[in-house]
Every structure is written in structure tokens, then in C-alpha cells.
Amino acid sequence: MKLRFEGNMESFEQGIRELAHEIPFECAADDGICVQVEASPGDELEVGRKGDHAYIRYGKKHQFFRALGLLVQRGHEGDFELKETQRFDNVGPMFDLSRNGVLTVDSFQLLLRKMALMGMNTVMLYMEDTYELEGEPYFGYMRGRYSQEELRAIDDYADLFGIEAFPSIQTLAHLEEFLKWEAAKEYKDTKGALLANDERVMAFIERMIEASSAPFRSRKMHIGMDEAEEVGRGKYLDKNGYTGRFELMVNHLDKVLEIVRKKGLTPMMWSDMFLKLASTSSDNEHFSHDTKIPEEMASRIPKDVEMVYWDYAHIGEEHYEQLIANHRPLGTKLAFAGGVWVFNTFGVNYGLSLLATDDALKVCKREGIRDVYATMWGDDGMESNPYIALLGLQFYAEHAYTDAEVDKEWLKERVQFCTGIPYDAYMLMKDLDETPGSEPDNRKQSNPSKFLLYQDVLLGLFDKQIEGLPMNDHYAALEQAITAQRNEQAALDYMFDVPEKLAHVLKLKSEIGIELKQAYDARDLETMRHIAVHKLPEIASAVKQLRASHRTQWLRMFKPFGWEVIDIRYGGVVHRLESASDRILDLVEGRIAQIEELEQERLVFSSRNHLNHQGIGWSSYYLRMASPNVFFHVMNPF
């Protein structure tokens, strides 16, 4: 499709050239469809074609690029007219750049192009220690930290499309990866929290705020402060005695906000700690429906900080209505952060993500929440990636431009056009974890794609969790389904290499521990020999192929730092398979009388299992999947 633009196009020209590599159109000087481009007031965009003439009317810069995509998507079919109103002031992702997967600048720019076509207008960069901080060489050391130049390049590129990029940092807790260094000991309260009410710490925070905000045009800054339960319970307690966490947090927040205001920044923070501290539930759960913010608490909380209510896993509109109501007494502007579930998995839990997002965003529209973000956390090492989560981002975008339900067929058209990958291919990613035994839509967040890969075949920690379930058959069918959806002509097709090869591994490995234990208990030495000589080496070979594909994918998306963690995990799987073969052959060939690991009774890993309709299990940490024994021991975690 050839397009000839008329109007004031200076601010759009470079963005148009960048998107010409993503969707099928080219700019023409003299021929093609004449597109009249006009600015219009408000949050509306209009786009249409009639014969050899077309028009784009936009309220904000980013809306032009969504409209351009819509013109190319619909215009090749003939005449059409479309009018949309943006229902959120800000909509976009939060990329987790702190759990090993630090996107390269090129990868970030590719994602920004996809976001532009979707019509998103903001992106949050979650950086705990992955940015340069002058005078602190251990801050982000060997962690893939961004230079100031790299952050400016990301910001410049986002600005081409009218996308506002801004930093999300931590100014209280979640700083384990910096505070582990000896050089950081003067800043440390506990293993992850800063020492509150300390002048050196406040000077350090001021440098953090300056360094993380300087490369960006935006004056927004997310100052974090979530999940800070441990604050005041380490060195602070030894030095000052007990102080209530609310008092500590509010005093610390006041000091951080003094810095933020001085630098002309507009702050936001996670809201969970205030709801936890106000909760009367036994576990101080911030999702409790009964939480009431007392007046004495509300009066102490500054009103010029936007509270970000995060909630990733609840289904039901009434839940979000109640939690938003719980926040209202805080008296601050409220934003919402949902999730596209790439957390602790190789895939995406689209069943839960899309249902929870749908309920949450419908309520946000009714309740007047104007800023919404889609988080993509990389917990425990980032085995997954934001690319296979693009369907989730598309869903957020389409919600932002409709007042009603998102039409499923329209969503399918849009994600195919914007990303080049069909809806059905994305949805296969949920089946890495949505297996036999899981609850509908994997609502209990089982993650067998990870624990069945990493669990040890001799120890069988998760074998009881899947006993009696046809897991091998499930993954065999999934491998075939992914292969059938592959399209080598699609630019992003490579992101299915890892899921495809993982499904191949799991069709071989999922039930092998159960088979081995049964053979051992029956003293079926011939079956055990076959497992040792044929099956375990076949699995090890498949794991090596998976590792090679994952390595290629990682280095295409992320900086190399952090890959060593995944590499070590794959190495552990392979070597433990080899050890299992050796142990089995030692028994079969009479060198030992028993295999002590196989003498042990298999117990359920947790109360979350298919026997009580809690899915087939969840584990948050590789080290607990691989072994019940000690990986490391810290005598003094503070």
C-alpha cells in the first residue's frame, strides 16, 4: 500500500519511516492514497478511506501511529471509517529490567514499535540497580546496567511515537542485588532494605533519583517502596530500637519526596504497604476486602504522590471495585497495575492474565482510573520474555480504545497485524502450564513448565504432584501444536523455538521419575537399565538442544549478563541426568545394593495440588525445584 501524507508531518516523519519496516506500506511522493492528516481536540482519533483518499485525525501524537496502523490494516480491504476514544490517559507496559533479562536497546526499540502500532503511550522501566550510578561501581555491577546514553536512546526512540518513557526504581526495599556487596554495607538495614533515617542513605537515594531520571524527558518517577515488610528489623533495630513500620515508612517517604519535589519530578509509588499496615487479616494481606484505612493513617500520607494499586491474579469485577474503594481514603490519585503472567514460567499464563485484566480494566473505566500499566515481572531469573506477552499488551491497548467488551475477533485481527503472530499461537503459550490437573484457565497459577524441567529425576520432588496425570501426552500434543503454528516468514517466529523445544523435553521428562520409582520398587532391573541407557541420555540430549535455542534467543533479546544463571540451571539438569544414569547402572550391575534416593517415599510438594483442586503446584524458586538441600547459607542475612 502506497500512502502520500498531506498536513504538518514534521514530527511524524521519522516514526513513519521506522514503522514502514513493521507493516506493509510505503511512503510515496506523487502517487498512492492521499492521506489528509489533521490534529483534533480531545482523546479521539478518526481514520478512514474512500477511494484514493484517506484521513487521519488525532488528539495526541501516539494516536496518529495507532491510526496509521488501522489505516494499513483496514484500508487494503477498501473503504472504511473508524472512530475511537481513548479511555485511559496513560496505558502501557512496565518492563522488568532487574531480574537478569535486561533488554538490549535494539530489542527495546522493537517493542516500542509494536506499542506504537497498538496505540500505547507510556512505558515504565523497572530498574532496581540496572542503571549507572556515579561513585557506586558495585551498583548494577555485572548485571547489564544501562548507561546514561542507552537510556537516552530508549527515551529518544519512544518520543518518536509519542510514548512517554520513565523510570521505576526502589528507594526503600527490593535492593538485594546491590546490598549484597560489602561496598554497600553502610546503606543496609536488612538484606534487601535500606537503612531508614540515615543521612548517608538519603544522599545515596538523591543520587539514585538524579541518575535514573536524568536521561528521560518525562518528569514522572516511580519510587517503589513495595513489599517493604522487613524495613526497620535489621541494623535499624539494633541501632535505634523498635519503631513501627508505618512511622518508619512515612518518615522515609517524606524525605524521599523532598528530593523528588526539589528536582521537579512527579512521584508515584506502590500502594501495598499502606493497605498491609491497615489490614486486620491474620497475614496482613493487602487484598483483604475488609481493610479500612484509618483517618490517622490517611492524614499522614502525602497527597502529591500517585498510588499504584497492583493486582495480578484476581477474577471478578466486585474484587476490583472493593479494592479501589479501599484505596479511596488515602486521598491520592490512583493508578492501576495489572499483570501479563510471565512470572516464574517459561510461557505466559494467558488464561488467568486475560480474565483478570478484563475484569480489572472494566472496573477501572467505571471508577475513573486514568492510568493503567501492564507489568511483566521476571521473577527468579526471567525464563520467559516480554515478546511472547505481546498478546497481553494488545489486550490492554484494545481495552483502552473501547468503552465496551473487547471483541475477540477484533483482538485476533489486531494482534496478527501489529505483531505478525496469530492469536492462536500466543495462546499455546498458556499450555506450557495449563496442563491436566490444573484448574480452568490455570487460575491457581501452577508452573509445571519450570518445576518439571528443573526437578531432579532421582529425588522426584514434584512426582506426587503429577501422579496419575497424562503429562507426557499433554506435552507431546503441545509440541505438535506449536510446530503447526510456526511460520518462518514471521519476523518474531523465533520466539517459539524455546517453547517448542521445552515441550519436546517435557514429553520425555515429565513422568520419567514416576516410571523410575515404580521400576525400582518392583526391582524391574531391565526397565531400569533401559531408562539409564536410553531414556535419560535422550532427555539430556533434548535439554542440550533446548539450552542452545534458549541461548540464541536470550542473546537476541537481552544483554548477556544473567544468561549465566539459566546456563548453570541447564547444566545442572544435564549433569544430574548423567548422575542418575550412573547410579541406576551401579545398582543394575551390582556395584551397590540400593539407591537411597529411590528408597524415599514421594510426598506432595505443597498443599496446592490437583487432589484438592488447587492446580498441580507452584514453586517460586529454582533452588527449591532442584533440591531440598542447602544451596547457600547466610549466617547473617542482614
| 179-197 pLDDT, tens digit each | 999 999 999 999 999 999 9
Residue 637 above 60 pLDDT? no
Asked if the structure places residue 637 within a domain, the reply is no
Asked if the structure places residue 633 within a domain, the reply is no
Query: Residue 553, class by beta-carbon neighbours within 10 Å (0-12 exposed, 13-18 middle, 19+ buried)?
Result: middle
In order of 129, 170, 201, 250, the CA distances from 253 in angstroms are 20, 12, 13, 5
Q: Which three cell numbers stand for residue 332?
A: 491520592
Q: Residue 545: what pLDDT?
A: 98
Specify the amino acid at residue 121. Answer: N
Residues 523 and 566 in one domain: yes
Judged by DSSP in three states, 177 sits in helix
DSSP string, 404-439: SPPPHHHHHHHHHHHHSS-HHHHHGGGGGT--TTSP
Residue 579 above 80 pLDDT? yes
The DSSP H or E segment spanning 480 is helix 471-485
Phi, psi at 126, each rounded to 5°: -85, 110
Query: What would the mean pLDDT of 64-86 be, rounded to a whole number?
Result: 96
105, 111, 116, 121 alpha-carbon torsion, rounded to 10°? -80
pTM: predicted TM-score of the whole model, two decimal places = 0.97
**Which CATH number do you get for residue 12?**
3.30.160.230
Q: Tally the residues of the chain.
A: 638
Asked if the structure places residue 51 within a domain, the reply is yes
Domains contained in the chain, number = 3
**Cα–Cα distance measured from residue 514 to residue 529, given in angstroms and rounded to the nearest whole number:** 15
Residues 392 and 457 in one domain: no
- Among 391, 421, 451, give the residue marking a domain's end: 421
pLDDT band at 281 (very low <50, low <70, confident <90, very high): confident
Residues 509 and 366 in one domain: no
Asked if the structure places residue 635 within a domain, the reply is no
Q: Residue 340: what pLDDT?
A: 98
Burial 301-335 (b: 16+ CB within 10 A, else e): bbeebbbbbbbbbbbeeebbebbbebbebbebbbb
Question: CB 483: neighbour CB atoms within 10 A?
Answer: 12
Specify the amino acid at residue 136. Answer: E
Specify the amino acid at residue 406. Answer: V
Q: Which three cell numbers stand for residue 292?
A: 479500612
Question: CB 110: neighbour CB atoms within 10 A?
Answer: 18
Average pLDDT of the chain, as a whole number: 96
Q: Residue 30: what pLDDT?
A: 85
**Cα–Cα distance measured from residue 401 to residue 382, given in angstroms and rounded to the nearest whole number:** 31
pLDDT band at 404 (very low <50, low <70, confident <90, very high): confident
Asked if the structure places residue 310 within a domain, the reply is yes
Asked if the structure places residue 115 within a domain, the reply is yes
Q: What angle do CA 614, 615, 617 make, to 5 degrees?
A: 100
Contacts of 220 (CB under 8 A, 6+ apart): 164, 166, 265, 266, 268
- Among 421, 455, 485, give the residue marking a domain's end: 421
Judged by DSSP in three states, 310 sits in strand
Query: What would the mean pLDDT of 140-146 be, rounded to a whole number?
Result: 98
Residues 98 and 147 in one domain: yes
Residues 66 and 98 in one domain: no
Residues 312 and 407 in one domain: yes
The dihedral sign for the CA sequence 9, 14, 16, 17:
positive
Asked if the structure places residue 362 within a domain, the reply is yes
Q: Residue 376, CB half-sphere, CA atoms under 13 Å: how many? A: 30
Percent residues over pLDDT 70 in the chain:
99
Nearest C-alpha neighbor of 111 from the set 183, 36, 18, 181: 18
Residues 203 and 135 in one domain: yes
Q: What are the pLDDT digits (tens) for 229-277? A: 999 999 999 999 999 999 999 999 999 999 999 999 999 999 999 999 9
Question: CB 282: neighbour CB atoms within 10 A?
Answer: 7
Residues 273 and 408 in one domain: yes
Asked if the structure places residue 632 within a domain, the reply is no
Q: Residue 43: what pLDDT?
A: 83
**Which CATH number do you get for residue 340?**
3.20.20.80
Residues 450 and 594 in one domain: yes
Percent residues over pLDDT 90 in the chain:
95
Residues 495 and 607 in one domain: yes
Ramachandran bin of 434, using left for φ above 0, alpha for ψ from -120 to 50, beta for the remaining angles: beta
Question: CB 632: neighbour CB atoms within 10 A?
Answer: 5
**Cα–Cα distance measured from residue 543 to residue 505, given in angstroms and rounded to the nearest whole number:** 6
Lowest mean pLDDT among 50-59, 279-288, 437-446, 628-637: 628-637
CB under 8 Å, gap of 24 or more: what pairs does 56-61 form? 59/86, 60/86, 60/121, 60/162, 61/11, 61/12, 61/161, 61/162
Residue 631 above 90 pLDDT? no
**Which CATH number do you get for residue 621?**
1.20.120.670
Q: What are the pLDDT digits (tens) for 465-480? A: 999 999 999 999 999 9
Q: What are the pLDDT digits (tens) for 1-59? A: 999 999 999 999 999 999 998 999 999 888 899 999 999 988 899 999 999 999 999 99
Judged by DSSP in three states, 166 sits in strand
pLDDT band at 634 (very low <50, low <70, confident <90, very high): low
Residues 73 and 196 in one domain: no
Q: Residue 633: what pLDDT?
A: 67
Residues 190 and 133 in one domain: yes
Residue 638 above 70 pLDDT? no
Residue 635 above 90 pLDDT? no
- Among 421, 455, 490, give the residue marking a domain's end: 421
Domain around 306: 90-421
